[in-house]
């Protein structure tokens, strides 16, 4: 399959998989249904626990069977989460079930999608362009989410359940498009020995044992850059705390996402800027400290700028991760990295929720900034020892 044709189908899939109108309002939907900030943090932690349980087994499934069928199943499963929430009527148990379903869907696609993309680029002899394509991937995710945030905020202002229902049709279409995302790996001929399912676990663990760089990049993404993604789940609560109306949530998010998408698209330009591995988290941490000093709508500006600092380092570090691994069980190895992300995000969700409950949501953001500053100091020290994130 020619690479440009594959990429068109791939980008369409990426866009539709994250085109969820319900994303603009579901955190506030939970709060207005009676959950406090600690209950919402607990839901996010449950999401991470489920993802941790399924992440590596689903990656091994993607390595063992045709990747396409897993990509077709994931959006259909994800649509089920929004149906459950639309019917939940304030039930905490159904909120939990929705997160379980959504988390399982994301685990189906996470390692599988990155592995499929890298393999198509490797077959076309264009792995040097992987960071540029991955940046476009991330930008399309943000553009999709931005459009959905605007529409979801407007629809949610009138009917939050309707915003949840409208997440379903794009996901069904994504499942259809996945049929045009072929798995191009060479399969064993009839009669040849086929690696067993458990062999993918062994190969992935071997990759981490053999490569110190792989371990460092995983720690870098897991212990530091992951914080931006976990913290963003609490943003609607931050918006409420600084006095923003619900209808504005989508507009605020969309403006930030436009800048974030541009940062993703430009990430490849920083490929040779090794100091960015510690400098970008340091700047992001300082901006979060500023965002946590007062209840002011003006502090949304440093908050969004902090997220922009996290965009290029995520793209470039994940690109280096794909390049330094052997690739015999690429989806399983990538999912192993995602497993560590999930474990770390459990602690981050509970820590942010606990801080928000004890000292308030605004100061909790400032504490996250202090953490990132300390983390960037550790990355600087590792950089001096010869280990780099990208």
For helices 37-64 and 330-359, the axis angle rounded to 10 degrees is: 180
pLDDT-derived band of residue 342, with 50, 70 and 90 as boundaries?
confident
pLDDT of residue 116: 92
**Cα-Cα end-to-end distance for the chain:** 30
**What is the overall mean pLDDT for the chain?**
86
Local structure of residue 222 (DSSP, 8 states): I
- Could you give phi then psi for residue 293, rounded to 5 degrees? -95, -20
389 Cβ contact partners less than 8 Å away, ≥ 6 residues apart: 216, 217, 220, 274, 277, 278, 313, 316, 317, 320, 379
For the residues of 220-252, what is the DSSP string, one character each?
Answer: HIIIIIHHHHHHHTTHHHHHHHTT--GGGHHHH
For the residues of 163-178, what is the DSSP string, one character each?
Answer: HHHTTHHHHHHHHHHG
Contact 225, 280 (CB under 8 A): no
CB atoms under 10 Å from CB of 32, counted, come to 12
Indicate the Cα dihedral angle 334, 340, 215, 353, nearest 10°.
130
pLDDT-derived band of residue 250, with 50, 70 and 90 as boundaries?
low
Write the pLDDT tens digit of every residue in 15-43: 999 898 877 677 777 877 777 777 877 88
Write the pLDDT tens digit of every residue in 128-140: 898 899 989 988 9
What is the rounded distance in angstroms from the CA atom of residue 177 to the CA atom of residue 225?
Answer: 31
| Global confidence as pTM | 0.74
Count of residues making up the chain: 390
pLDDT-derived band of residue 341, with 50, 70 and 90 as boundaries?
confident
Nearest Cα neighbor of 237 from 37, 385, 82 is 37
pLDDT of residue 195: 64
For helices 37-64 and 92-123, the axis angle rounded to 10 degrees is: 40
What is the rounded distance in angstroms from the CA atom of residue 151 to the CA atom of residue 163?
Answer: 8
CB atoms under 10 Å from CB of 195, counted, come to 14
pLDDT at 264 over 70: yes
What is the rounded distance in angstroms from the CA atom of residue 311 to the CA atom of residue 225?
Answer: 9
Pairwise pLDDT comparison (24 vs 385), residue with the higher score: 385
Write the pLDDT tens digit of every residue in 179-227: 999 988 866 555 555 667 778 878 888 888 888 889 999 999 999 998 9
């Amino acid at each position: 399959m020619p690479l440009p044709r594959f990429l068109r189908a791939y980008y369409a899939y990426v866009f539709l998989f994250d085109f969820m109108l319900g994303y603009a309002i579901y955190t506030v939907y939970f709060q207005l249904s009676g959950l406090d900030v600690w209950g919402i943090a607990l839901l996010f932690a449950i999401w991470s626990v489920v993802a941790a349980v399924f992440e590596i087994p689903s990656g091994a499934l993607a390595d063992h069977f045709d990747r396409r069928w897993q990509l077709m199943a994931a959006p259909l499963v994800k649509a089920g989460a929004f149906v459950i929430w639309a019917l939940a009527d304030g039930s905490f148990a159904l909120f939990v079930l929705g997160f379980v379903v959504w988390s399982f869907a994301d685990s189906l696609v996470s390692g599988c999608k990155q592995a499929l993309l890298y393999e198509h680029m490797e077959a076309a002899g264009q792995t040097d362009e992987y960071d540029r394509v991955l940046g476009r991937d991330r930008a399309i995710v943000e553009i999709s989410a931005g459009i959905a945030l605007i529409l979801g905020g407007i629809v949610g202002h009138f009917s939050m359940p309707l915003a949840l229902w409208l997440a379903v049709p794009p996901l069904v279409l994504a499942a259809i498009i996945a049929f045009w995302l072929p798995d191009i790996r060479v399969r064993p001929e009839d009669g040849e020995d086929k690696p067993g399912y458990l062999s993918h676990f062994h190969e992935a663990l071997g990759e981490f044992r053999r490569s110190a760089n792989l371990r460092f990049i995983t720690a870098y993404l897991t212990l530091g850059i992951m914080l931006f993604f976990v913290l963003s789940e609490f943003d609607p609560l931050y918006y409420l705390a600084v006095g923003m109306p619900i209808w504005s949530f989508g507009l605020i998010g969309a403006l930030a996402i436009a800048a974030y998408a541009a940062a993703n698209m430009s990430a490849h330009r920083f490929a040779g800027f090794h100091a960015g591995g510690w400098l970008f988290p340091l700047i992001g941490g300082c901006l979060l400290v500023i965002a946590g000093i007062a209840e002011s709508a003006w502090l949304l500006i440093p908050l969004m700028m902090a997220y922009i600092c996290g965009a290029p380092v995520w793209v470039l570090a994940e690109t280096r991760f794909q390049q330094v691994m052997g690739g015999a069980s690429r989806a399983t190895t990538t999912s192993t990295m995602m497993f560590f992300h999930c474990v770390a995000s459990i602690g981050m969700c509970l820590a942010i929720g606990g801080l928000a409950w004890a000292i308030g949501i605004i100061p909790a953001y400032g504490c996250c900034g202090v953490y990132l500053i300390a983390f960037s100091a550790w990355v600087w020290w590792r950089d001096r020892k010869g280990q780099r994130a990208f």
